[in-house]
Amino acid sequence: MAKTYGNLINGRWMDSPGGGTIKSVNPANTDDVVGTVPASTKEDVDAAVKAARDAFGYWRLVPPPKRGEILFRAAELILKNKEELGRLVTREMGKILAEGLGDVQEAIDMAYYMAGEGRRLSGETVPSELAAKDCKSVRVPVGVFALITPWNFPTAIPAWKLLPALIGGNTVVFKPSSYTPVAATRLVELLVEAGVPDGVVNLVHGSGEGVGEVLASHHGIDGVSFTGSSAVGERLATLCSGLDKEVSCEMGGKNPIIVMDDARLDLAVEGCIWGAFGTTGQRCTAASRIIVHEKVYDRFLDIFIKATRRLRVGDGLNEETQVGPLINESQMKKVLEYIDIGRSEGARLITGGRRLCEAEYAKGYFVEPTVFADVTPAMRIAREEIFGPVAAVLKARDLDEAIAIANDSEYGLSSAIYTQDVNKSAVAERDLDAGIVYINAPTIGAEIQLPFGGIKKSGMGHREAGGRGGAIEMFTRWKVIYRDFSGRLQKAQIEE
Ligand code: NAP
């Protein structure tokens, strides 16, 4: 019998009065039910937003270093439970165990980092043009945040939002993906165990349409931090634009890797395999376009195909597996549809292309790692986010053409180039139109101490994660303070 998990509202775990439930299943074996959670209603959202509003008055006044101590304890607890959580991530989402553990490690890294931010939330102190007057800027919390997350990083992405929101002094209502609600619940349980006070973090399960939209547009919400598809992000931004809310969205990608004629091909192939097929291609930063210099195109393809064919697909909990299942049936159907589209557009399918459903695959959503060659920039498989194990290989005459193809996209999240020429790498670094550029590394693998996010359809509002311009910008506002201690009226800019 699968375990039942509840919502967390004002420090109490509870069912939804609506009585509906959502079943979370293992995408490698749909007979395996990971847990059930409430299919919440508007009443749950109202109660959670009220709890967060009530707790905000207290939490905003807790000194940031004290908030940081709670986050530090959370980091220690997540670390202590890393193995159990990593296995849960793999069982619920499907990524291979090494990546499940990596997902949790990202949450740990973020917890330690944001705990430290509690002593660094600095502003500016500048001189005044007037005597006996102070001028400074300080960071203040935004208020109550709605946090809405996808399924592909079940603990990392929630941690990327929860922890900076908390250190900034905000309270939150968190709606995780209904495909990975159990991992999200375990993370919240650990935050509670670390000492997050009642009402500061509230968790409401449910679908995007049933709960996410009601939450984001709720009059009691001051800010929305969303990660997911561009279609939903754009809808939320429109919905919230007239409602006086801060909205930040991290969305999709169609990320290119350029392989130059002087690149180390062994390294480039290894990077492209990891970039395209890591997490079964279900990363916003997945390398779905590989743009290869014409001089090494055939040689690259030959090595790349052989390496793709060697990949072992299977249950992520099995140690030999390198590529796990897709998250659900609709995602699997979408990937198979794109494979048909690629074929009908005239791209050359050189390996993969099939659903795997025999024996060990019978109860899961498995698709073979797939490579299309001779893809042209106008084809849909070169333009649209597929979010699965499908790589489109394109040919370019030179660096300029490769960069032009890379930039010819509605998206602009991550990008990469393999070259041994320092000048070419510098040109790519300057001219690739994306939030992230990797040199001699694939498009995936961001570290938490720098801002994360993209341009165009990939991101709007503030960036995530650490560093200057990172999530602290999302979760705090600037307030400027002038204090006059001259004891008389002094007028700035006015000559007397
Ligand atoms: P999604 O369908 O957009 O869903 C994301 C979250 O939004 C889920 O919690 C979903 O709820 C909720 N949602 C759906 N419709 C909603 C609505 N009308 N109003 C409010 N919330 C709504 O995306 P996904 O399939 O989970 O994730 C894959 C997408 O995320 C890809 O496009 C990927 O590129 C993107 N992604 C981006 C980043 C980044 O940092 N740029 C990182 C990871 C993933 P339910 O699913 O529970 O219904």
**Total number of residues shown for the chain:** 496
Cα gap 345→384, rounded to integer Å: 13
Ligand 1 close to Cβ of residue 150 (< 6 A) = yes
Element (H, E) at 240: helix 230-241
**263-270 contact pairs (CB < 8 A, 24+):** 263/293, 263/296, 263/418, 263/419, 263/420, 263/440, 264/418, 264/420, 264/440, 265/296, 265/299, 265/300, 265/303, 266/303, 267/418, 267/440, 268/300, 268/418, 269/300, 269/303, 269/304, 269/307, 270/307
Residues of the chain with CATH 3.40.605.10: 3-251+458-481
Which one of 117, 284, 368, 385 is the catalytic residue? 284
27 lines ligand 1 (CB under 6 A): no
CATH superfamily of 255-439: Aldehyde Dehydrogenase; Chain A, domain 2 (3.40.309.10)
Using most ligand atoms within 8 A of CB, pick from 24, 152, 330 the residue to mutate for ligand 1.
152
Query: What is the residue with the minimal CA distance to atom 16 of ligand 1?
Result: 208
Residue 240 CB less than 6 A away from ligand 1: no
Q: Is 435 in the pocket of ligand 1 (CB under 6 A)?
A: no
Give the tokens for residue 311.
């990949």
Q: Whose CA is nearest to atom 19 of ligand 1?
A: 213
Q: Is the pTM of this model over 0.95?
A: yes
Strands 246-250 and 223-227: parallel
Amino acid at 387: F
Q: Assess contact for 106 and 79: CB atoms under 8 A.
A: no
The CB of 411 under 6 Å from ligand 1? The reply is no
What DSSP string runs through 8-65?
Answer: EETTEEE--TT--EEEEEETTEEEEEEEEEE---HHHHHHHHHHHHHHHHHHTTS-HH
Distance between CA atoms of 231 and 242, rounded to whole angstroms? Answer: 18
> Taking the mean position of all CA atoms in its chain, how far away is CA 421?
32
Residue 133's beta-bridge partner residues? Answer: 484
The fold of the 3-251+458-481 domain, in CATH, is Aldehyde Dehydrogenase; Chain A, domain 1 (3.40.605)
| 135 a catalytic residue | no
- Give the per-residue pLDDT at 241: 82
Using the mean position of ligand 1's atoms as its centre, give its distance from the Cα of residue 251 in Å: 8
Q: Which atom of ligand 1 is nearest to the CA of 250?
A: 41
* CA-based torsion, 280, 284, 287, 288: positive or negative: positive
From 214, 255, 279, 284, give the residue whose CB has the most ligand 1 atoms within 8 Å, as the site to mutate.
284
CA of 393 relative to ligand 1 center, distance in Å: 27
The string of pLDDT tens digits covering residues 248-303 is 999 999 999 999 999 999 999 999 999 999 999 999 999 999 999 999 999 999 99
Contacts of residue 208, defined as CB under 8 A and 6 or more positions apart, other chains included, come to 148, 175, 178, 228, 232
284 is catalytic: yes
Give phi and psi for 167, each to the nearest 5. -65, -30
Residue 298 burial by Cβ neighbours in a 10 Å radius (0-12, 13-18, 19+): exposed
Q: Report the alpha-carbon distance of residue 228 to residue 79 in Å, rounded.
A: 26
CA distances from 483 to 31, 94, 307, 349 (A): 65, 56, 66, 69
Torsion of CA 418, 423, 428, 429, to 10 degrees: 100
Q: Is 251 in the pocket of ligand 1 (CB under 6 A)?
A: yes
Residues 126 and 135 sit within 8 Å (Cβ to Cβ): yes
31 lines ligand 1 (CB under 6 A): no
Phi, psi of 247 (to 5 degrees): -130, 130
pLDDT tens per residue, range 71-81: 999 999 999 99
Residue range(s) in the chain whose domain bears CATH number 3.40.309.10? 255-439
d(CA 440, CA 424): 12
d(CA 200, CA 167): 11
Cβ(103) – ligand 1 distance below 6 Å: no
- Say which amino acid occupies 490: Q
> How many whole angstroms separate alpha carbon 417 and alpha carbon 264?
11
Cβ atoms of residues 307 and 269 within 8 Å: yes
**Residue numbers in the chain where pLDDT is lower than 70:** none
Q: Whose CA is nearest to atom 15 of ligand 1?
A: 208
Is 434's C-beta closer than 6 angstroms to any atom of ligand 1?
A: no
User: Atom 32, ligand 1: which residue's CA is nearest?
Assistant: 229
409 CA distance to ligand 1 middle (Å) = 20
